[in-house]
């Protein structure tokens, strides 16, 4: 039988720093809803590291779901992967929402959907946590990010690094407070928005 698990090399590089940051911002208990789980490697790693939380991985691509479930095999606090588009009108209720490396490889409509869905899913005070590369003040934070942005836009003009300020404005329109900004390795940021 073929192993359905997929692998994203960046996961091994960013998961430990991400976990350190998440420990400061996640609630003590409840459901952590991960939007755009991709390979499922983060979901499995976080479920193992955070046994007090229940992980709900999601992915728009139905072909990715078996691989996510394979990564999460044997982890009782990781639910079966759910097919979910960030723009879907109905999401599961959650104590926290996490989205890693999605908004720069999706149209802007996916970011707006992410904000709407998270606002409807979270309780007051619940965190929406985004991780990835961002522009600040309309400028790239590092030369490598500028190159990466150009590569993304060449692949799809609807993709590309987002301005932190535009993301914060979209979040504010859905009732989120201004973000806590956490610098991360490799010129990435973690943004933590709390639902007002």
Residue ranges and CATH numbers for the domains of the chain are 9-194 (3.40.50.150)
Tell me the per-residue pLDDT of 10-66, one tens digit each, with 9 for 90 and over: 777 889 999 999 999 999 999 999 999 999 999 999 999 999 999 999 999 999 999
Return d(Cα 22, Cα 141) in angstroms, integer: 22
Task: Classify residue 158 as left (phi > 0), alpha (psi -120 to 50) or beta.
Answer: alpha
Query: What per-residue confidence (pLDDT) applies to 14?
Result: 87
Tell me the per-residue pLDDT of 133-176, one tens digit each, with 9 for 90 and over: 999 999 999 999 999 999 999 999 999 999 999 999 999 999 99
Cα 120 → chain centroid: 16
Q: pLDDT tier at 1 (50, 70, 90 boundaries)?
A: low
- Whole-Å CA distances, 18 to 3, 57, 114, 178, 191: 27, 16, 20, 20, 11
Q: What is the per-residue DSSP string for 30-81?
A: EEEEEES-TTSHHHHHHHHH-TTEEEEEEES-GGGHHHHHHHTTT-TTBPPP
pLDDT(97) > 70:
yes
- pTM of the predicted protein model: 0.96
- Helices 41-49 and 9-25: crossing angle in degrees, nearest 10, is 40
Of 1, 101, 88, 81, nearest to 40 by C-alpha is: 81
Burial class of residue 154, CB neighbours in 10 A (0-12, 13-18, 19+): exposed
Do the Cβ atoms of 86 and 113 come closer than 8 Å?
yes
- Mean pLDDT computed over 174-195: 97
Query: What per-residue confidence (pLDDT) applies to 9?
Result: 77
């Amino acid at each position: 039988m073929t192993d359905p698990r997929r692998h994203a090399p960046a996961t091994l590089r960013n998961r430990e720093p991400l976990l350190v940051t998440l420990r400061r911002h996640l609630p003590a208990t409840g459901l952590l809803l991960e939007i755009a789980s991709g390979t499922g490697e983060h979901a499995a790693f976080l479920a193992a590291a955070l046994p007090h939380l229940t992980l709900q991985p999601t992915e728009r691509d139905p072909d990715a779901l078996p691989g996510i479930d394979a990564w999460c095999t044997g982890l009782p606090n990781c639910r079966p992967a759910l097919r979910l588009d960030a723009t879907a009108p109905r999401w599961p209720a959650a104590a926290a929402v996490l989205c890693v490396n999605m908004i720069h490889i999706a149209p802007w409509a996916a970011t707006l959907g992410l904000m709407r869905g998270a606002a409807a899913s979270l309780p007051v005070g619940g965190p929406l946590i985004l991780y990835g590369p961002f522009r600040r003040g309309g400028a790239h934070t590092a030369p490598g990010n500028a190159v990466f942005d150009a590569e993304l836009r060449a692949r799809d003009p609807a993709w590309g690094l987002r301005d932190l300020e535009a993301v914060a404005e979209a979040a504010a329109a859905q009732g989120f407070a201004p973000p806590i900004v956490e610098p991360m390795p490799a010129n990435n940021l973690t943004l933590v928005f709390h639902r007002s």
